[in-house]
Amino acid sequence: MKFRAVFLDAGETLLSPHPSFEEVFCNVLADCGHEVIPRDISEAWGSLISDLTDYLDQTGMSAWSTSPEASRQFWGMLYARLLAGLDVPDADQKLAEAIYSRFTQYDSYRLFDDSRPALTALRGAGLAVGLISNFEGWLEGMLTQMGVADSFDHMIISGKEGLEKPDPAIFHLALERGGVRAAETAYIGDHLRLDVEASEAVGMTGILLDRKGRHRGFEGHRIESLSDLLPLLEAIE
């Protein structure tokens, strides 16, 4: 195998909101007396934003996860616009704040079923395993509670480092802490721009995790489950 180390993304790669982003959102609204169904959330989201990074560019914000203040500002603005699209009144922004609060609670997230076995398999293959994630600093505590923090030799989390993908600096920091060269490192994530293109720009091997099969025409390295990760790494020359 050509690889010595593997770094993984977190959100929508190792874990996601549970039972889904839409259902958590609806549950908060229901607790506040507003009846909305998950399909309404999906439609409002789709009309507002096709991609979080594009939305970030549109708002003129340079980053969203590098500090608690940036995170609260970004998500508060996004939730306010989603609520407006749903015709749910929130003049004092208390509802947007309640949604933000729910999504910062550990119990609003679950590991994907294939995450823990994949991490075990990677370590069993003798690979160094790391994390590079655009996420708030509390991600490390959540991974500890989930029982997988010990699976990582290094965690590079934007909320702790003040760096955010696709900035090459966050990848160079991960390589430096891991003591590995880019050419002997793979990076796995669910986003073409932030994960695959950004990691390949610094010389890593980028692998797209396409759980929902949205990018079947992608010509690079692509898997639909983390259970396929180690076999792919072993097959790459």
Q: What is the pLDDT of residues 90-140, one digit of tens each?
A: 888 899 999 999 999 999 999 999 999 999 999 999 999 999 999 999 999
Residue where a domain stops, chosen among 43, 75, 108: 108
CA dihedral for 204, 206, 120, 131, sign (positive or negative): positive
Residue where a domain stops, chosen among 86, 108, 130: 108
Contact 186, 233 (CB under 8 A): yes
> Are 207 and 93 found together in one domain?
no
> Are 143 and 179 found together in one domain?
yes
Domain extent, residue 208, equals 5-16+110-235
Predicted structure pTM score:
0.93
Contact 205, 236 (CB under 8 A): yes
38-48 helix and 68-85 helix, angle to the nearest 10 degrees: 110
pLDDT number for residue 61: 65
pLDDT number for residue 72: 92
Contact 205, 234 (CB under 8 A): no
pLDDT number for residue 213: 92
